[in-house]
Amino acid sequence: MHDPGTYALIQLMPTALRPACWALWASASVLDDLADQRDVAPADRAARVEAWTQALQHDLAIGTSTDPVRHALVDTALRWRLDLSSLQGAMTTTRDDVGSRHFADWTQWRAWCNEEIVPWVDQVWHLFEQAGAPMTLRLDRRKDYEQFVDGTQLTDILTDLSEDLAQEDLLLPQEALDAFPGAEEDLRRGRWSPATAALIAELTALARQWMTRPAMTKGMHPGAANVLDTAACLLRAQLDAVDAAGPTLLKRTPRLSVVSRTRIFAPARLRAAMAWSLTPLTVPGSRRPAAAAHIPRPSTDNAALRPPPPHSEGARPPQIPADQMPAHVAVIMDGNGRWAQQRGLPRPEGHHAGTAAVHEIVCGALEIGLRHLTVYAFSTENWKRDTDEITTILEAIRRDLDEGPLRDLDVRQRWLGHPDKLPQELVQALQRAERRTRNRTGLTLTMCINYGGRDEITRTAAALAQAARAGEIDPRLIGEEDFARHLPHPDMPDVDLLWRTGKEQRTSNFLPWHATYAELHFTPGYWPDVDRRDLWQAITEYSRRQRRHGAAPLTTNRSTVQASR
Ligand code: FPP
């Protein structure tokens, strides 16, 4: 955080965005410092972080602050219309991190990195978007971005090893330490041994590999690409310094020389000046009134959320025993066009009515306590439709994301699909909705847009092949779990119940990996006519089915229990 490299990187941003970047960086640094003060007891450090976070909430509400760093952040948030609520998770992690941290494996370590850093990076992306130079991220390169973030964090940890060890902190996963017997003890005792040297060499090589992602910046605005490429270059030079430090790594922080930094930044600044001169940026005018700002709240942003509006006739959800509830319901919303034609309306009207039906079903899902709902909104095959119809569907979704009633419900919105051919405004709205709702804990609503099941499987296979080529995975040992880990949303559970409206009885390239063992439910009505009671009915029927996943049927004394395969 205190590296002069960060200062120089911000200088590569367009001038209009720099003050906002300073404000974000300074705030993150202050919180980091409060959490790391060696001479203060952990509980007091946590209290200081919490007090700072709460003071920020207050300052945002009144639109000013007596603290210079918070004042800069408040001003930035109001001027650039930043939604700071997504920072709450990072601030809570910083507060909870003052004690000692332990990561069993790389997965836990990665989750911590994501909690700590990604929300801050998201704010910078949002700034670019507001300025009219969106740093559009390609979903098929998500793994590259994630590894890049991991690489920056690992470089930071290796650089600050001596400081962390002085505080008896070792921020490396146990899995990595165990691969070099004796290294952990030597590190903790400040002993530079062959095991320690081998561990450090392995980790610098890993970080270097994670940060060497040439495909990551392809197609990006050259100014934004320059910032990321220069950051990678800087961090790789920092890793060289870590490697060169040898035993002194355990005593002091290796720093890049002014000459090395200049070699990296002099050409980068020239490139930045040229790249940003290509794009006229939109600088915001007057500040938004303070009361309208999105502010972080003490624990979650749930205070801003409202319960789902009740059913129009007051219907209430059935009580389903927890062990009989599906974890994941996926829906093929069929029949919009026929619904419209039946009424003598143009087909696009069916999609507008279908959007309202999505809201109704989301309310029903929240009321019955469903965890995951996935809807098939636009398939890779739907491009064969008339251009007007395609535009109507995609624009209805875009408008719904930005203005629709789901915004204020406890719904974490996610997108599954491919960005190619989709309008950029829709991709940005989808990414915005994901960022805005990422900390919500109610229903996870996954919208499949420009989604195809075979396309998903092909891309996942390609990601696995890439991982194998990079030496991250042994192709002879690839199993189902490895495949699942490389899917776009590895945490998405298997589909328990697959529901299709509109009379047809097929699955149409929808979630083939996840729905292999799904119970199927077909209903004759058209999608715009559904009501939350239809979802509840589907779940009730599901709760009565017996699922065997290929096992033999259960037997009783007298008979074999009837079971569906
Ligand atoms: C299938 O019916 C439906 C679609 C291809 C579009 C579904 C999209 C929505 C309902 C909008 C979703 C909105 C959000 C917010 C997720 P069809 O047109 O194939 O109907 P048909 O079989 O009668 O022709």
Distance CA 507, CA 505 (A): 7
Ligand 1 binding pocket mutation candidate from 331, 334, 363, 407 (most atoms within 8 A of CB): 334
Whether residue 223 contacts residue 272, with contact meaning beta carbons closer than 8 Å, is answered with yes
Measured N-to-C along each axis, helices 142-159 and 106-130 cross at an angle, to the nearest 10 degrees, of 110
Distance CA 9, CA 232 (A): 11
Looking at residue 290, its pLDDT comes to 55
294 DSSP β-pair partners = 83
> Which contiguous run of DSSP H or E holds residue 375?
strand 372-379
98 lines ligand 1 (CB under 6 A): no
Looking at residue 278, its pLDDT comes to 82
Per-residue pLDDT band at 213 (split at 50, 70, 90): confident
Looking at residue 157, its pLDDT comes to 94
Looking at residue 446, its pLDDT comes to 97
Lowest mean pLDDT among 91-105, 217-231, 291-305, 408-422: 291-305
For residue 182, pLDDT beyond 60: yes
pLDDT digits (tens, 9 = 90+) for 508-531: 999 999 999 999 999 999 999 999
Domain boundaries, the chain: 1-101, 132-271, 322-451+493-543
Amino acid identity of residue 176, one-letter, is: A
Lowest mean pLDDT among 4-13, 226-235, 281-290, 542-551: 281-290
Per-residue pLDDT band at 288 (split at 50, 70, 90): low
414 lines ligand 1 (CB under 6 A): no
Q: In 3D, which of 251, 548, 539, 306 has the Cα closest to residue 442?
A: 306
Looking at residue 561, its pLDDT comes to 36
Lowest mean pLDDT among 28-37, 305-314, 526-535: 28-37
Angle at 27 (CA atoms; ends 24, 28), nearest 5 degrees: 85
334 is catalytic: yes
Q: How far is the CA of 326 from the centre of ligand 1 (A)?
A: 24
411 lines ligand 1 (CB under 6 A): no
For residue 291, pLDDT beyond 60: no
430 lines ligand 1 (CB under 6 A): no
From 150, 301, 334, 410, active-site residue: 334
pLDDT digits (tens, 9 = 90+) for 393-405: 999 999 999 889 9
Ligand 1 binding pocket mutation candidate from 338, 349, 351 (most atoms within 8 A of CB): 351
Looking at residue 395, its pLDDT comes to 95
C-alpha dihedral, 348 to 353 to 357 to 358, nearest 10°: 40
Looking at residue 184, its pLDDT comes to 95
Average pLDDT, the chain: 88
Per-residue pLDDT band at 147 (split at 50, 70, 90): confident
Backbone angles phi, psi at 418, to 5 degrees: -120, 140
Angle at 240 (CA atoms; ends 237, 245), nearest 5 degrees: 130
Looking at residue 551, its pLDDT comes to 75
CATH number of 322-451+493-543: 3.40.1180.10
Q: How far is the CA of 528 from the centre of ligand 1 (A)?
A: 9
- In DSSP notation, 299-340 reads S-SGGG--PPPPPTT--------GGGS-SEEEEE---HHHHH
Neighbour-count burial of 446, counting CB atoms closer than 10 A to its CB (0-12 exposed, 13-18 middle, 19+ buried): buried
Looking at residue 298, its pLDDT comes to 35
382 is catalytic: yes
Residue 476 DSSP one-character state: G
Q: What is the percent of the chain where pLDDT is above 90?
A: 58
